[in-house]
Structure 1
């Protein structure tokens, strides 16, 4: 373990947990975190470099370069550099967490959530342009979001991004609560229920993204289902009931009247097939859509070919017609669609990481039950594989931290060590 200044660690974490804040045009996830993360990583390289992770990283780099050489006619150098940056970012975050004994507590989580939600509330109800300049998107967009019934983007690129950040922080909060053995198991579940319900309500109120809210709700429900005890079933029923009551009250007091999230939920109940005509349908079915695109582009992926095909995908609520091209909505599945069989190293990363995550199921002495690994894996799938920027540092940090910190807790790493960096 490396000993490092707590203030510098705080700077690194802030750059990772606020990845949309920056000044570089044309991209949502800003590279600011790299300038703070790199010095720590290069210092760590002289201490501990895990062999398996390094070999997979080098294999990924080699595959990307090989793809660029073989299919240079269909991809640009920017395409290859973008994916090289994404892979390197994940590896650097892994090295950083592996070599620094960071103990993140609830106070740090509350600090991050307070920033996102506080700025969002101010933008939504008082000053739409409040701190909007910190995110490299046209500040005028915040007025369009408000007038169109969408929520606040806060310190992210758009409301759905804000909803995802709140979901990721909820996952991290649940991990911190459940590993706290100074409380009884029932007390930890009660704390988890209250915290998750409040964050769900705030996500619906501030972000107002129907898709992000549905993802967040599924993550919370999966957590309680993974426990599967009688009291847990009661908590699930209570959570759903309270959410309906909460939004009914907001509707009655016209707080949510005319908003996009209200329109989406009304459409889901009244005419679910019409949901396929909404842009959010592309997010929901991003994985099958991306795999379906390979039928048209072939086993070597789409690359950056400009070909467009009239495509149809069967769904449980009807056929989804769309134009298949080389673009999708991100996530790890983007590597499969764009690289085809050359995405093997990235699927290997997913497989190895999934195995590590499922090991958490055996940590019943730490979490109080044996299904926590399933919850973490589902959260990873729905937030990082399904859609969104693959390079999103806050997401990779949360999941890698949960896996590596669990190993430290299980192995009995002394938390009073001089190398400990407490962020709580």
Structure 2
């Protein structure tokens, strides 16, 4: 038992200590129809045989780069320059993924300082941290921060917030005794979120562009929130949009959070990604995570340190701002390198290309009989209503070599009113031929 050293007696002792009768009992919460009951694999095989077997299994997947790809809904396919991967694999960066002994990793700290500066500029805020795990955990940390600042417990979540982000907030909030008022799904952008803001509200969480692609005017929401002493948390999942639309900070947001995967980080089967977090200077002492600061040493030389580290490792647990004990250092580095290569002008140009590509596709798709565009305004993602079940239509389009988007029902299972909605994204990687292939395939499927 070279790799499994525990004996039967060891396992029984551990199970007894946990309080369960068998290992299978540990998986009782997973529905039986979702469990894997063994894999059809040999007990042992040579390396070349294993490589061939895994290669055959991998070939059964439809890779994002192998067909026209229009999937988004929180994770986006963008071009990442080869320079990014080359630089992040340098040993100086790769081996100091996160600064546990910070002052001896000056290069990493300097990069994170630059990263924070970029995020502050992008979001229109005054201070940003050195990254979070991803956009969803950044969102719930923002809600918890708002509760600390306002001394209130109620969070209002827009119906345009990504359902998976909402689920993370709803999962963690009860542990702190907090209340969550999640508004119904809002694919038509008709919700009246102002009516839900009252004197008990701690924060209002609004995503723009929303999960359905709608651009939301944050200014009136911020005004109403501030009128009753609440905070506005602005969320985004597509960071490239900040190269074209007005920054959330300029619209009155108090905390801005989101996902930075689109810059420097590939899809990677769902991670690792990089959460972004920015706020006002006056709130900095309640900001979770790591914060890099610039200073000088005893000889007057420029240097970088971690500062205001009010995490559970450093101070009394009940006084910590969060238990975030690391950051997505390597992903943040990739973000910083890509953003530096783009520059302000390059990011704006990239954003315009994304928007133009999405407009072309939306116009072509909505011209098909039975297809309706739900968005009056959008960035590079929009929602269409199809004359049939969107999930079924997507499967038929896969058979024609097109990954058409994300059915809304996949994000919101069990909601029949969303069954005919498809969320579609078009970025700079989509060519005219890709868009034509999508339109032609959908036209055939709907015929």
Same fold (TM over 0.5): no
**Greater share of residues in helix:** 1
TM-score of the pair, normalised by structure 2: 0.29
**Greater share of residues in strand:** 2
TM-score of the pair, normalised by structure 1: 0.30
Larger radius of gyration: 2
Structure of greater relative contact order (alpha carbons < 8 Å, 6+ residues apart)? 1
